[in-house]
Structure 1
Amino acid sequence: MSIYGGSGHIIAGGSHCVSSSNSLWLDIVKTDHKVDELGINFSRSMVKTIGNGCSTRFWHDHWLGNEPLKSAYTRLFRLEQDKDVMIYNRVLRQTPSVVSDAGWVQDPYGQTRCELTEINNLLQALTFDSSNEDSWRWTLCGNGVFNTKVLTELIFSKMFQTNAPTNCETLRNNFIPKKVEIFIWWAKRKRLPSFLELDMRGIDLHSIRCPLCVDELESVEHSLLSCKLAKIIWDKVYSWWDKQNVLHQTFEDIYNNNDMNSEVGAKVWQAVKWVCTYLIWRNRNQKVFKLSSWTPPNALRLALYACELITVAIFAAFYVCFS
């Protein structure tokens, strides 16, 4: 119940999900479409390798061709009596293998007969192995075994590549660690787990006020821009760079790197702002999860000191690379 929701279930095929309430499992399943938007064919990357054919559905599972047969041969699928029939019960294992003529609502003819012929032609290259069970093969990895590390690297490479799809906004700055780039990417999409975001997703919390200042509701913008602690840190950072601190209203003030004269200088200034944003959120998490003995002065000194060190390190790297 806690995973599927009240009466949530996944309809065979994986392309349509139904739930009467919020469901953690359904949210996970739906992420395959978000991965596809990055240019990774994840939703169709799991393919069945046929052994005896006893555990693979003839129409719904992806085992023959480039997609499930119910999607590739829609007219013939409508004539099927048993939509959930297994391969073992639908294919005559002979040489060559063919689809059984039994089990149709009516005999295929015309276009449906052509579709049946195409399936039989594809079956000629298939060999059944009655001694082994059916298994899954992940096509995005050379050994066919699903690997979270490989998928993570694929996602990151698509997220931060310069020629990513136009509907996938990317962020890239070589002066900062990848974890900061990922954090900024999530922050700009307003997907950080602030108390207000969690409350909007139906998660019950003791309070949704900012854990640092306790003055306002904790949205992502408040935590990183308008919280009292955040304002003090931003004032200090801007003073280091001898720049006038403007009141941050949106994330564009942080992500924009066009407020410097040179391209390299703008990139360095952008890196400092991104790292500062990351450190503000990290100290917020230390307070929320009690990862250390946290008090506002200690957190402030830690954030300012870290920002100062990173600023110096960036300038040192810049001097070595471009001097």
Structure 2
Amino acid sequence: MSWVKWDDVILSYGFGGLNIGSLKGKNLALIGKWWWRFKNEPNSFWAKIVTSIHGSGGLLNASDSLRTQGKGGVWVNIVRVGREIEKIVTCFRDSFIRKIGDGSSTKFWDDTWLMDTPLKVKYSRLFHLEQEKSVAVKDRVEWGDQGCIINWKWERNPSGRVQDEMADLINRLVAYTKSNKQQDSWHWKLSSNGLFNTKVLSNFLEESTLDLITLQVQEETIRNRFVPLKVEVFMWRLLRRRLPVHVELDKRGIDLNSVL
């Protein structure tokens, strides 16, 4: 006999579940972790193999097409699944943000570092005037004790509405807080500590796929770490009247001599 709907069981504690999570959510989150590893381990042997076959971006950029790659290949399948995650958690691709150290390994226009989107997308008119479109951050901006020094190289001087874009970009660059680390690093904005966490991503996936509005969600599940887990689960079922006592069995059509 099924006492609790599985969709209720796998919900997080905040939604009244047991925080088990779904297999689909966990599998997709584990695939998503490979995106994080590829970005954080560029000098590893496997990452170098991927870049030698698929280019420096590893097919993770939105503009990269998978149609010419065929159906085979482990990495192509990982990228394809990652794009499926993007359909559920729309901010997944933009959740990986560069934190600037010396600015040598981050592209000023192409990488996501100053905003939630690459600067070439936000400031497309300025990007069109840029002479060196693959320039690194360190070759455009220098942060020092005396403030922010910006070294522009334009095809022609910005004018008209482009000047408004330039003024907005300069204000953002001046207000940017540079990392104390010597090298550039990656920050995952969906977690509180900036590090990728499969549990956090799986929770995002489950909350996006499960229809939490139509579910009859109970009040938040309160945990007590001083008692065994089986006791917590027992109390969770008891508060929801989901224990096989005579009264509950009788409600479900079980023939009993007495419910006393």
2:199 to 149, 152, 157: 149
**In the superposition, relative to structure 1, how do residues 71 and 98 fare at CA in structure 2: closer, same or farther (>3 Å)?**
farther
* AA in 1 matched with 2:147: P
**In the superposition, relative to structure 1, how do residues 318 and 40 fare at CA in structure 2: closer, same or farther (>3 Å)?**
farther
- Max radius of gyration: which structure? 1
TM-score where L is the length of structure 1 = 0.46
Bigger drift between 14-23 and 131-140 goes to: 14-23
Aligned CA RMSD, in angstroms, stands at 3.6
* AA in 1 matched with 2:170: N
* Match of residue 172 from structure 2: 122
**In the superposition, relative to structure 1, how do residues 7 and 142 fare at CA in structure 2: closer, same or farther (>3 Å)?**
closer
Structure 1 residue 148: Cα displacement: 1.7
What is the rounded CA distance, in whole Å, between the counterparts of 1:137 and 1:121 in structure 2? 22
Q: Answer yes or no: is the 8 Å Cα contact 1:17–1:26 preserved in 2.
A: no
Structure 1 residue 145: Cα displacement: 0.4
Q: Answer yes or no: is the 8 Å Cα contact 2:148–2:174 preserved in 1.
A: yes
* AA in 2 matched with 1:111: R
Structure 1 residue 117: Cα displacement: 1.2
Say if 2:110 is the partner of 1:60. Answer: yes
Contiguous gaps of at least 5 residues in structure 1: 165-171, 175-313
1:100 to 141, 146, 151: 151
What is the rounded CA distance, in whole Å, between the counterparts of 1:5 and 1:65 in structure 2? 26
The residue correspondences of 1:32-181 to structure 2 (distance < 5 A) are 32-94=82-144, 95-101=146-152, 103-128=153-178, 132-163=182-213
Q: Answer yes or no: is the 8 Å Cα contact 2:103–2:138 preserved in 1.
A: yes
Structure 1 residue 114: Cα displacement: 1.8
* Match of residue 203 from structure 1: none
Alignment deviations for residues 179-218 of structure 1 (CA, whole Å, 9 cap, x no partner)? xxxxxxxxxxxxxxxxxxxxxxxxxxxxxxxxxxxxxxxx
1:17 to 45, 64, 68: 64
**In the superposition, relative to structure 1, how do residues 110 and 5 fare at CA in structure 2: closer, same or farther (>3 Å)?**
closer
Bigger drift between 24-33 and 151-160 goes to: 24-33
Q: Answer yes or no: is the 8 Å Cα contact 1:4–1:24 preserved in 2.
A: no
Contiguous gaps of at least 5 residues in structure 2: 1-45, 218-241, 252-260
Structure 1 residue 34: Cα displacement: 2.5
How many residue pairs get matched? 175
* Match of residue 256 from structure 2: none
Provide the secondary structure at the position in 2 that maps to 1:57.
coil
* Match of residue 257 from structure 2: none
Structure number with the bigger relative contact order (C-alpha 8 A, sep ≥ 6) is 2
What is the rounded CA distance, in whole Å, between the counterparts of 1:16 and 1:31 in structure 2? 16
**In the superposition, relative to structure 1, how do residues 108 and 152 fare at CA in structure 2: closer, same or farther (>3 Å)?**
same
* Match of residue 232 from structure 1: none
Structure 1 residue 11: Cα displacement: 7.4
**In the superposition, relative to structure 1, how do residues 98 and 11 fare at CA in structure 2: closer, same or farther (>3 Å)?**
farther
Structure 1 residue 92: Cα displacement: 3.6
What is the rounded CA distance, in whole Å, between the counterparts of 1:159 and 1:318 in structure 2? 36
Q: In percent, how many aligned pairs have the same letter? A: 29
The residue correspondences of 1:244-263 to structure 2 (distance < 5 A) are none
The residue correspondences of 1:200-219 to structure 2 (distance < 5 A) are none
**In the superposition, relative to structure 1, how do residues 37 and 130 fare at CA in structure 2: closer, same or farther (>3 Å)?**
closer
Q: Answer yes or no: is the 8 Å Cα contact 2:96–2:186 preserved in 1.
A: yes
Structure 1 residue 322: Cα displacement: 7.9
* Match of residue 225 from structure 1: none
**In the superposition, relative to structure 1, how do residues 30 and 69 fare at CA in structure 2: closer, same or farther (>3 Å)?**
farther
Structure 1 residue 127: Cα displacement: 3.5
What is the rounded CA distance, in whole Å, between the counterparts of 1:70 and 1:93 in structure 2? 21
* Match of residue 221 from structure 1: none
What is the rounded CA distance, in whole Å, between the counterparts of 1:318 and 1:15 in structure 2? 58
